[in-house]
Each structure stands twice: as structure tokens, then as C-alpha cells.
Structure 1
Amino acid sequence: MEFVSLLTKLLAMDAAQTTRSKRILSIDILRGLVMIIMALDHTRDFFHIGAMTGDPLNPDTTTGMLFFTRWITHFCAPTFVFLSGLSAYLSAQHKTPGSASSFLAKRGLWLIFVELVIITFGLTFNPGYNFLILQVIWAIGTSMIFLAIFSRLSYKVVFIVGLLLVFGHNLFNLFPAPVDPDGGLLLKVFFTASGTVVPLSGKHFIYVFYAILPWTGIMFIGYGVGYWFKKDYAAEHRQRNLFIAGLFAILVFISLRLINIYGDPAPRKEYHDLFKNLLAFFNVSKYPPSLQYACMTLGPAMLFLAVTEKVNNWFTKVTSVYGAVPFFYYVLHFYLLHTLLVIVFFATGHGTKEIVQVPFMFRPAIFGFHLPLVYLIWLAVVASLYWPCRWFKRYKETHRQWWLSYV
């Protein structure tokens, strides 16, 4: 209790120093769009009949629609991490270097706690926490702790380190893994994790989906790009820079994909089939996020920021609502989806004997629906979250409680 009381006081003191700034609409639009698309992937995980038994990105077994359903959600995590770095830079403009660094470190620790306790339970509904899942919130939290250290230097240093991490981390794929188990585990957690399972006991495991440093590189690049969004930075220069950077990233992706030597741990597979070759071309590694994956996703994200800065219509107004409260939406959508899953589980005749311990208690391997119904569930869940998100957005705009800076 004393630790919780001390942490609460520290967070409150830090938040009291935070001055609110006018939100940049294009950032909220893009973030809202990827939050909406992200929910599609989690809906597929919970409700698609083949989610536990097949790979939607395998050109040998997938369909065009199933491939697209999974592939389009590839844009969500890197864009979200990139925008987290960008927002961290903008937030730091209203603080001293020390308070900005302190805020990042404390928020990073808070997000790791959220991943382990709140998100893990939302994903598994397992009160015994037999399966701790480290995903994007974990990656953001750990990256923020690193950013807290490097941001004390300069945004240029952060940006350069980010580029080195994103462009260079695939070098580790060219060398054999360390023989030492501890060294191998550290390498996986920091650089090469691809669904690494770390046993804590016979019944408790940690599942590391997101290797830390490749995602840290993406956040650092976002932090460096944040300089273009300063109030005194000319809008036309910002849009030009974003457009050039976005095109450059896309060209790097296409070039590396064609050369097929570096930038992804799994070389592109060649087929005697035009359609399968097309799918294989875009089937890049997310775990960890390869250089090709980062360029494929962040390039369009920067182009989107460049062209939407002055766009204002009903669609952007709706998406910006979700983008203004991403943490609130992220946590809520897991619990809503999983509650719906429990209802469907029992309503379709499944019983308590089919409850499994890992990874999702109410998600047997043979269960679910085909894609059209999965899409309907996704749209219904996203639509139902609009009004809660709109309410919380207005609450944040009209209230000044310290804890709002952490959600």
C-alpha cells in the first residue's frame, strides 16, 4: 500500500506540471483509423473459425479476403508506436527536460503494469494469470523508458538512434543465436522475439510477442519526426518532409523486397502463381518488425499525415474521436470483445468442459464463424464504443485530474 501511495503521489506531481496543448487533428485522425482497424484483427482472433488453426498470411492456404483482413492490420502497431513517439516529443515541449524524462519513465512503467495486469486479463479472462502476454503496450512502455534516457540529449540523437535500430536490427538474423541460454533469451527479448515463451513455472508462462528494441527504434523515429510538428514549423515544409519520407520508405520496402537479401528474417518465397507471388511480396515479418515491415507500414502512415492535415469531414470527425482517447478505447475494446465471446461461447452450446487454460479460456481451437460475420461483429463493437469514447474525450478536455495524463 505504501508503494501504491507513493506512486500515486509521484504521478500526481508530474501531471500537475503538464500543460495541455491544442490537439493536432491529423494525428488523431490517423491514430483513430488504426485503432478502428486494429479491432478487426482482435475480432478475428476471437471469432474467426480458423484463427487458432491456420495462418491467414500463408499464400499456400489463405484466401485473398482472409489475407487482406490480417495484412491491413499490420499498419496498426507500427503507426501507433510511431505516433506515441511523435506525441511524446510534442508533450515534452511544455515541460522541462527533467520533468519530460520523468513523465516518460513513469508512464512507461505504468504501461508495463497495464500490459501485465489489465490487458492480459482482458485477453485471457484467466484470473490465475497462467499466461502473461507482452504485446504492443509492453513495447511502448519499455520504449518510453529508453526514450526517457535518450530524450535528455537531443531529438536529433533520438532520431539517429531510431534509424540505426530500424535499419540495423535485422543484422542479428545473419548470425547464429548464442549458445548460452540466458544470452539467447536476452537476444530474443530485445531483438528477435517471434512468439518467445518464457516458463515461470509448470503452469505459468510469459509469451513475448514484441521484441523491445525494434519497436523502440520506431518510437524514436516518431519522436524525431515530432520536430516537424512544432508550432513554429511551417506547415508546407512539414507536409513536404512527410511526403518525401513516406515515399522514400515505400521505395526502400519495394527495393529490399525485390532484392530479397536483407531486411526480413524470412526471404520472400517464389511461387509459380501470380496471385500467390503477390501475397508473398507483402507477407513480411511483424514479429519482430523487420525493416521491410517498418517501411511498408510507416511509409503510407507518413503520406497519410501529409495529405490529411487540412481535411475535415464527417469521417475525420468520427475517427478523431477514437484517436483522441486511444488508451481508453484499447482497454475497453478487449473487454467488450471478450465479454461478447463468453456470451457466444455458451449461446452456441459450448460448456465449461471446453474452457481451456491458455491462451484464451473461452476460445477453443474449433470455434467461430466465417469472415462476413466476423466483419459484422467488428463493426458493431467499434460503433458501440463511439459514444463512450466521445464522452471520455470531452471529459479529458474539460477536466484536469492528474491521472488523465496517463490514460
Structure 2
Amino acid sequence: MIWSHYPALPWLSVVALGMAFGRWMERDRKSAYRKAIITGLALLALFVIIRWLDGFGNLRPRQGSSWIDWLNTVKYPPSISFLCMTLGIDLLLLGGLGLADDWNRGRRISDSLARLGRVPLFFYICHLYVYAGLGWLLAPKGSTLVTAYLAWVVGLAILYPVCSWYGRLKRRHPGNPVLSLL
């Protein structure tokens, strides 16, 4: 038996919502993107209401009235305010990118994200090494925010072609179990 303090049960609802949304997108993609934007806006409005009332849905009450106090929500276990905020933003981005693709304006953005999303475990493993190396090179004794952003951009510039290459390799060898795993 494996024991973990990770709260898996509350996240099952998020997984179920994602699966339901995926089925929805299979049936009517354009309608799903529009509804994602509407749902995202509704969730963000609900987030503001929940945080403003500072009661039900907040596992950590606000300590002050600054914007950072509003955004300081509880992720583990996920509070209702945290889920409304993050899922609202995610749905707005998903719907916006989807509609931009339909209008042929955002094709490059979503294609780039999809290229990284086709090799998620490979990207994850590579990013650990790339960013550890960049941290060692760029900021061995600490860093500033500017250095962190520079490392982030340089890391993506390194990871993007590597992940593109790996995606092409996976497509050339569809039956390879090792390539399929990563």
C-alpha cells in the first residue's frame, strides 16, 4: 500500500470536467470555444464574489485588501476560490486561442503550444535539466527577476526545437514503446 498526503479526491472533479469538456469539443469545437470564454468569465466573476464575501469557498481568508491578498488562495486541497480563479483563466485562454485559430490569426501560437503538448513527459524531463543548467550558468549565487525571465525565454528557445525533433521522431516510429512513453 502506498500512503500519500496528496489530496487526490478533490482533483477528480477537475479531471472529470476536463474530460467532459474534451468530449464537448469533439462534438462542436467552435461552440465549445465560445462557451469556454463565457464559462471562464463566469468563473472569474464567481471568484471575485467568493473572495469579496471572504467566507464559504475560501480555505485561507484574506489578510488584507491588496491585490496579492486577493490572489493568495489555497491550492492543496484546492479551494473553490482557487479553482474558480485558475479554471476561469484557463478557459479564457483556451477559448481565445481556439477562436483566434478559427479566424486564422493565432494559428502559430496554438500550433507552437500543441507541439510542446504532444511530448509532455519529454518536455518535463528536459526542462528540469535545461533550467537547472541555465540557473547554474546565469545565476550561480542567486538571481533577479530579469535574470529569471531571461532564463525562461532562453530555456524555451532551447526546448522548442528539441521537442519538435522528438515529436517528429515519435511520428516516424509510431509503434516504438519507449518513444510512446515519453
Q: What TM-score, normalized by structure 2, do the two folds share?
A: 0.82
Q: Which amino acid aligns with 2:59?
A: P
Pair 1:285-2:66 in alignment: no
Q: Cα gap change, 1:384/1:256 in structure 2, threshold over 3 Å: closer, same or farther? A: same
Which residue does 1:296 correspond to in 2? 85
Paired residues in the alignment total 175
2:150 matched residue in structure 1: 376
Q: CA 1:281 to 1:321, structure 2 compared with 1: closer, same or farther past 3 Å?
A: same
Larger Rg: 1
The match for 2:15 is 219
The residue aligned with 1:328 is 122
Q: Distance in 1 between matches of 2:110 and 2:51?
A: 33
2:164 is aligned with 1:397: no
Could you say which structure has the greater relative contact order, defined with CA pairs below 8 angstroms and 6 or more residues apart?
1
* 1:232-381 alignment runs, 5 A limit: 233-271=27-65, 277-310=66-99, 311=101, 312-342=106-136, 367-381=141-155
The 3-state SS of whatever aligns with 1:245 is: helix
Look up the SS of the partner of 2:133 in the other structure.
Answer: helix
User: Are 2:162 and 1:388 equivalent residues in the alignment?
Assistant: yes
Please show how residues 182-193 of structure 1 align to structure 2 within 5 Å. 189=5
1:406 aligns with 2:174: no
Looking at structure 1, the residues matched to 107 and 13 of structure 2 have their Cα atoms a distance apart, in angstroms, of 33
Q: Render the CA deviation track for 1:94-127: whole Å, top value 9, x for unaligned.
A: xxxxxxxxxxxxxxxxxx9xxxxxxxxxxxxxxx
Q: Equivalents in 1 of 2:107, 2:84: separation in Å?
A: 29
Gap regions ≥5 residues in structure 2? none
Instruction: Structure 1: give runs of 5+ residues left out of the alignment.
Output: 1-111, 113-184, 190-209, 272-276, 349-366
Alpha-carbon distance, 1:344 to partner: 6.2
Measure, in 2, the Cα distance between the counterparts of 1:322 and 1:278: 32
Which whole-Å CA distance do the structure 2 matches of 1:262 and 1:212 have between them?
21
Aligned position for 1:155? none
Change (3 A) 1:262 1:319: same
Q: Quote how far apart the aligned CAs of 1:270 are.
A: 2.4
**Contact kept? 2:33, 2:95, Cα under 8 Å:** yes
Q: Deviations over 1:300-349 (max 9, x none)?
A: 2112222322524433333332222221111111122223445568xx5x
Identity %: 30
Which amino acid in structure 2 is aligned with residue 309 of structure 1? G
The structural deviation recorded for 1:283 is 1.5
CA RMSD of aligned residues (A): 2.5
Cα offsets for 1:229-266 (capped at 9, x unmatched): 22xx1234322332332222112211111110021211
Partner amino acid for 2:93? F
Give 1:213's aligned amino acid: L
Change (3 A) 1:372 1:240: closer
CA distance in structure 2 between the aligned counterparts of 1:402 and 1:258, rounded to whole angstroms: 51
Give the Cα–Cα distance (whole angstroms) in 1 for the partners of residues 149 and 48 of structure 2: 30
- Cα deviations by residue, 1:261-312 (Å, 9 ceiling, x for unpaired): 02121101224xxxxx222111212233221111101112112222322524
**Whole-Å Cα distance in 2 between the matches of residues 235 and 315 of structure 1?**
18
Distance apart, 1:403 and its partner CA: 3.6
Q: What is the letter of the counterpart of residue 247 of structure 1?
A: L
Matches within 5 A, 1:13-52: none
AA aligned to 1:402 is: P
Task: Give, as a single letter, the amino acid of the residue that structure 2 aligns with 1:288.
Answer: P
Asked whether the 8 Å contact 2:135–2:151 carries over to 1, the reply is no
Structure with higher helix content: 2
Equivalents in 1 of 2:169, 2:120: separation in Å? 14
